[in-house]
Structure 1
Amino acid sequence: MSRPWMREERVGLAAGRILDAAGEVFAERGVGATEMSHIAQAAGCSRATLYRYFENRHALQVAYMHRQTHRVVEGVARRLQHLTDPRERLAEAIRSALAAVRESPVLASWFTAADGARTAGLVEASAVLQGLCAAFLGDPDDPAVRERARWLLRIIVSLLANPGRDAADERMMIERFVLPVLLDGPETAPPRPEAPAGAGRMRRSLA
């Protein structure tokens, strides 16, 4: 017999049970294909009860994403304890975050071809995720730091949705193209290739 929902359960515990059930359904059906009715059935509660904790499907998705991100960040922080060099710390943080998501069937389900765009939109709109990244990069109240945090989130989502050829390829991209911008500023990033001589005249002739 299922446990009662509205008697002795505290709000946080009940919400956690719902999110646990949601994770199982996300992994089975995919994020976009999961309806509130599926989650209610998996959690052993009615849809009415589900809506007492989460006003709609979007709110539940965001809550799940935030909870899992906090867990990933805690795991990454433990792996960085022995590192002091800023470049090593940031590179390892990115690689560890990527590995944590890929090793979890539930989290990996958010970055499939069907759900990657949805996930990217949720990440882009999340002040919580941006704040976590900004706090790692520096002063989260600094607008420049927050801009770099937004870019870091985009890079992580991009690599999760479209991985590099292999670990060495991703390491190269992180070290050559990501670290210089995040740690030193865009002026130290690899320069853009110069246009061939006469390219400007060609563009004008085609205008």
Structure 2
Amino acid sequence: MSPERILDAAAALFAERGVNAVGMGEVARAAGCSRATLYRYFPDRHALHVAFVHREARRIGALVPRDDLASAVLAAVREVRARPELLAWFSAADAGTTAALAQSSEVVEALGLTMVGDEPAARWLVRVIVSLLIVPGRDEAEERELVERFVVPGLVSR
């Protein structure tokens, strides 16, 4: 049993039921392992959540374009919206958990620092992305306008 297999099983459950509705016993069953094995890798639900979010932030960070900040932000948002196991983190029931985890150093490093060079700016950029996912614009054109008008100038002039 690998931690990746456990995280994959958790992802399927998050997409189906929501993040906070999924218990450790359910994850163990879905992964085909014992609770003891699950707890060996992830001592509690918070640790499982952190590992999942960090893994997915690294994956998204590797996919975003590096040459255009607005496109990078919008690509990250699109990638999350295209994946039910990630979109589940931004429902009303789970947004608080997401907001708390979004500011961990690993998330900022994996996602924010791939787009901008310094940590305070990266932290703010991750907040912007989380905000767009929790409270989306009317459409992609409006979101692009907001990012280009307010986010990019604030970060490029640094």
- TM-score, normalised to structure 2, is 0.94
Q: Distance in 1 between matches of 2:143 and 2:63?
A: 21
Aligned residue among 131, 138, 144 for 1:165: 138
Q: Is the 8 A contact 2:24 2:35 kept in 1?
A: yes
Decide whether aligned partners of structure 1 residues 135 and 72 sit closer, same or farther in structure 2, where only a CA change above 3 A counts: closer
Percent of paired sites with the same residue: 50
Cα displacement string for residues 94-115 of structure 1 (whole angstroms, at most 9, x for unaligned residues): 0100000000011100101110
Match of 2:10 in 1: 22
Given the alignment, which residue of 81, 89, 98 partners 1:110?
89
Residue 96 of structure 2 corresponds to residue 129 of structure 1: no
**Does the aligned pair in 1 maintain the 2:15–2:88 contact within 8 Å?**
yes
For the residues of structure 2 that align with 1:31 and 1:135, how far apart are their CA atoms? 26
Match of 1:65?
Answer: 53
List 4+ stretches of structure 1 deviating above 3 A: none
State the partner residue of 1:42: 30
- Contact 2:61 2:114 (C-alpha < 8 Å) held by counterparts: no
User: Map of 1:150-161 to 2, 5 A cutoff?
Assistant: 150-161=123-134
Report the alpha carbon displacement of residue 74 of structure 1 after superposing the two structures with TM. 1.4
- The one-letter code matched in structure 2 to 1:171 is R
Bigger RCO (CA 8 Å, 6+ sep): 2
1:98 maps to which residue? 77
Aligned residues: 157
**Residue type of the alignment partner of 2:101:** L
1:195 maps to which residue? none
Matched, 1:176 2:155: no
Gaps of 5+ in 2: none
5+ residue gaps in structure 1?
A: 6-13, 84-88, 139-144, 186-207
Q: Could you tell me how far 1:72 is from its partner in structure 2?
A: 1.0
**In structure 2, C-alpha distance between the alignment counterparts of 1:75 and 1:149, rounded to whole Å:** 17
Amino acid corresponding to residue 128 of structure 2 in structure 1: I
Q: Take 2:75 and 2:114, find their aligned partners in 1: how far apart are those partners? A: 17
The residue type paired with residue 55 of structure 2 is R
